[in-house]
Structure 1
Amino acid sequence: MGIFISVVFLVSFAMFAGAVQNLLALNKPGMYPPKVLLRKRAGSLAGAGAIFLLIGIIFYSFH
């Protein structure tokens, strides 16, 4: 069970890191990918990261 909780926290951290990377890409000049797509991607990754973090906290509290 401990390995599962660790994996859930690592996935959460990876998704938050991806969201930050997409937000930082908004400041780079260029046309591709569109800024709307980057914002949507960052929001999706941050939301999924929050869900995985919540799941990890729930499992950790019951462990």
Structure 2
Amino acid sequence: MKSVITILFLLCLLLFVGSIWNILALKRPGFYPTKQVLKKRASVLAGGGVLFLLLSIVLSSF
């Protein structure tokens, strides 16, 4: 069970890093996807990160 929780925490971290990457891409000029696509992608990645964070916290409490 400990390995599952660790994998969930790592997945959460990767999703947050991806979200930050997309947020930083908003500030760069000439980046291909439009700002709306980057904002939507960042919010979906952050939402997934929160979901996996909550799931891993719940599993680690048992």
When normalised by structure 2's length, the TM-score is 0.97
Residue equivalent to 1:57: 57
Cα offset, 1:3, TM superposition: 0.3
User: Cα RMSD over matched residues?
Assistant: 0.7
Ranges in structure 2 where 5+ consecutive residues have no aligned partner? none
Q: What is the number of residues matched between the two proteins?
A: 62
Residues 28-51 of structure 1: CA deviation (Å, up to 9, x unaligned):
001511010000000000000000
Contact 2:19 2:45 in 1 (8 A): yes
Task: Give me the TM-score of the superposition, normalised by structure 1.
Answer: 0.96
* Identity fraction in percent: 47
Gaps of 5+ in 1: none
Provide closer, same or farther for how the CA distance between residues 19 and 31 of structure 1 changes in structure 2, counting only shifts above 3 A: closer
